Structure 1
Amino acid sequence: MTKAKKKTSNPGILHFLVSRAFLLNVVLAVVAFLLLVWLTLWGISRYSRHAESQTVPDLTGLVSSDAAALLDRAGLELSVIDSTFQNDVRPMTVISQDPPSGARVKGGRTIYVVVNRKEPPPTEIPYIEVGTSYLSVVEILESRGLKLGNISYRPFQYKDVFIEMRIQGKPGVPKPGTKVAKG
């Protein structure tokens, strides 16, 4: 007895791809995908407040407390990230800022500033040998951030040379390495 092979009717993959159930599922998947993309973009736009921005005011030259008040009124924050010392600038005055003035930022953004120190940083008194020329002494002192004060001339065998140093007019030669305020 031989078994006869039974023919099965297989409509094929092509028939399935054009079936109503498959096409309905594809349309639903595309609609769901587009809806998900739209919701994501809408949510990001809403969360990041994409259309809202304001101009950063110029803070340079303002005392840090005044700069903080100005930023507070504008809905921005102030953060002092560094300090440096400049003789010709008032203490706690804003020297630089990031982002710069005129930049467009969102509300609540932190503006980072560098301010002038309240007190000059200390520096060491350099060793200056007796007989060093006046110009060399000026260069050595200025390179350490020190200002040359009153100059007094005394009789000496050479002209315009270093004989003695005083700090704030006090007598006695300070030892090299002694810490003093810059300026």
Structure 2
Amino acid sequence: MSEEEMDRETEDRTEEKKRTMSTGRAVRITLLNLLAMVAVGALIIVGALFLLDVYTHHGEAAKVPDLSGMTLSEAQTAVRSMDLDLEIVDSIYTEGMAPGVILKTSPGPGSIIKKHRTIFLTTNTTTVEQVVMPAVYDTSRRRAQAALRSAGFVDVTIKMVPGRYNDLAVEVSDRQTGQVIQPGTKLPFNTPLVLSITSTSSLDSLYDADTTAVDREVAEALQRIGQAEEPDGEDLPEL
């Protein structure tokens, strides 16, 4: 083998060795990068789980107490040690319950929730809803009742009164005060009302009652007159 061939072979071996070393270095760098990425990913996952536990208060739970009938301030005192928040989301009217008291909660009593969560409240409204009295005079009984229901009144009693026609509404009054309520008046929706409806049978009964009373008075008057004109037997002359 000539010297030139030997030099060429040496150069080829050197180049091959360099390529091998370069490839090995690239593989090691790639592996190191992969390991670094895996390590960073693991750290991110562990950190995320830790932050999630902190944010969600993992392992910290509280039992929702029964807050029904309490005022908001009383309920806040009841849940203060449980690290729970309260928020009023709705108000409705419930007869017989004090204004402003809690009617129900969501979640309900006995539910297990995480601390620092919010309990949503439905309370009894502090003011009774006002509705407007509709015009029902000289309308049919059915139409008058429908108008009152549509306006929002929930406590209506029917009263039959004498009249020339049947089933005509003549007035609406307050059952407690007896005051006639004019159309357009604003009232609490639960005001007890009396809807007066005409009835010819009631009129006939009234006439019959009046006639009977007159007849009785006339009979009593005639009886008194007869007794006054009848002579006493002791004053008659002897025959």
Q: TM-score range by the shorter chain?
A: 0.7 to 0.9
- The amino acid across from 1:96 in the alignment is K
CA contact (8 A) 2:72 2:102 kept: yes
Q: Does 1:43 align with 2:51?
A: yes
C-alpha deviations, 1:44-93, integer Å up to 9, x for none? 22333112112222334444443333223433222222212233443223
**What's the counterpart of residue 171 of structure 2?**
164
* Distance of 2:165 and 2:75 partners within structure 1: 54
Structure number, greater radius of gyration: 2
Going from structure 1 to structure 2, the CA distance change for 1:171 and 1:111 (only over 3 Å counts) comes to same
Superposed, 1:12-161 pairs within 5 Å as: 14-19=23-28, 22-133=30-141, 135-148=142-155, 152-161=159-168
Structure 1 or 2: more strand by fraction: 2
Q: TM-score, normalising length from structure 1?
A: 0.73
More helix by share: 2
Distance across 1 between alignment mates of 2:93 and 2:36: 67
Separation in structure 2 between the aligned mates of residue 161 and residue 149 of structure 1, nearest angstrom = 16
Contact between 1:122 and 1:182, CA under 8 Å: does it hold in 2?
yes
Provide the residue aligned with 2:187 in structure 1. 180
Structure 1 CA distance, aligned partners of 2:118 and 2:44? 33
Give the paired residue count: 176
Distance 1:114 1:59 in 2: 11
Identity across matched positions, percent: 25
CA deviation after TM superposition for structure 1 residue 22, in Å: 4.8
- RMSD of aligned Cα (Å): 3.2
One-letter identity of the residue aligned with 1:41: L
Q: Which runs of 5+ in 2 are unaligned?
A: 1-10, 191-239
**CA distance 1:47–1:78, change in 2 (3 Å):** closer
One-letter amino acid of the structure 1 residue matched with residue 165 of structure 2 = Y
In 1, distance between residues paired with 2:64 and 2:35?
Answer: 48
Higher RCO, 1 vs 2 (CA within 8 Å, ≥6 residues apart): 1
Which SS does the other structure have where 1:164 is aligned?
strand
**Is 2:137–2:171's contact at 8 Å kept on the other side of the alignment?**
no
Match of 1:154, SS?
Answer: strand
Listed one character per residue, the Cα deviations across residues 75-125 of structure 1 (whole Å, up to 9, x for unaligned) are 322222221223344322323322333433222222121211122111111
SS state of the match for residue 33, structure 1?
A: helix
Counterpart CA distance in 2 for 1:143 and 1:16 is: 87
The two structures have a TM-score, normalised by structure 2, of 0.59
Mapped to 2, the partners of 1:120 and 1:72 lie a distance apart of 31
